[in-house]
Amino acid sequence: MHGQHDGPTREELPGAISAQAEEFSRRLTAAGQTRVAAAAQATVDGLHALIAELRPSGEEFRLAIDFLTEVGHYADARRQEWVLFADVLGVSSLIEDLNNPRPAGATPNTLAGPFYRSDVPDMAPGANISRDHKGDPLAVEGRVLALDGSPVAGALVEVWQANAEGLYENQEPDRQPEFNLRGRFRTDPQGRFHFLTVKPKGYALPSDGPVGQLMSALGLGLERPAHIHFRVSGDGFETLTTHIFDRSDPAINRDAIFGVKPELMAEFRALPPAGGKRKYALDLNLVLCPARQGENETSGRR
Ligand SMILES: [Fe+2]
């Protein structure tokens, strides 16, 4: 796109601009430049350059149209196949990074994903967010800090995670208790919070639709390494939405939606077993950055 963005100009785009793309540009210019027009121009230029490079046959073009049609058929209020498509191409993650840059030292922001709920009740410090106690116990202790290392007192820390089988409470409401593995805590004057839970398992994105079929044809997986989601809000700070990943998960280097960053990998430490169960502990710091001037930004809404 043009103007305040730093992307390539049309003249710098690889490949020749087709006659049709040039004519499209002339028509748009006559109609007046808007942000939508700039997006349409960049899309047409990119598509024409792609077609010039790949030279698809009529049959291949029809298959591409069939794929996009099928993605549309799979998208409804409960299942957003288009979002899944954007996620596995890394597009959702890139848009998140561009819109929510974090200074060095601040915890990176990531997508919230589809399983967040805002209606979880407040819980006392140290509460167990596993309401069915199924899985290996995990004790989480964290601190919320500002960029200069000072504690953020009274911050709201929301957490949500999959269970030991890799499923969220709202994916199987008949099998898991309401609000299972979800919590809402406040930091103490030292910025600390702690809670008990069970060790989450990684999971795979839906493979039964056209995006799953495409990924399979490409030989790419749909796995997400085990993680716990956090959303932290404090007065005067940008709301942070992030994940903390289990660095020992075999899929840690191939997260299907590109959420893993070095700062977000942590050790889920094994503790001496107790009561015949393995036990784990996780310690983490979540570092907030100041709210942007004139905004109390909530990022990563999705
Ligand atoms: Fe998740």
279 domain residue, yes or no: yes
Q: What is the pLDDT of residue 301?
A: 42
Q: Do 41 and 118 belong together in one domain?
A: no
Distance 65 CA to ligand 1 centre (A): 31
Q: Read off the tokens for 78.
A: 């409960």
* 243 is a catalytic site residue: no
Per-residue pLDDT reduced to its tens digit, 103-139: 999 999 999 988 999 999 999 999 999 999 999 999 9
pLDDT at 187: 98
In terms of residue numbers, what domain contains 4?
1-55
What's the pLDDT tens digit per position in 230-277?
999 999 999 999 999 999 999 999 999 999 999 999 999 999 887 778
Note the pLDDT tens digit of each residue in 46-58: 999 999 999 999 9
The answer to whether residues 115 and 42 belong to one domain is no
Above 90 in pLDDT, residue 16?
Answer: no
Using the predicted structure, report yes or no on whether residue 158 has a pLDDT greater than 70: yes
Domains in the chain, number: 2
CATH code for position 251: 2.60.130.10
| Confidence band for 2, pLDDT divided at 50, 70 and 90 | very low
- Catalytic residue among 74, 116, 143, 168, which? 168
Q: What's the CA-to-centroid distance between 279 and ligand 1, angstroms?
A: 21
Catalytic residue among 48, 102, 182, 227: 227
Residues 135 and 260 in one domain: yes
Do 46 and 119 belong to one domain? no
Same domain, 8 and 141: no
Is 2 an active-site residue? no
Q: How far is the CA of 167 from the centre of ligand 1 (A)?
A: 9
74 is catalytic: no
229 has catalytic annotation: yes
Residues 1 and 128 grouped into a single domain: no
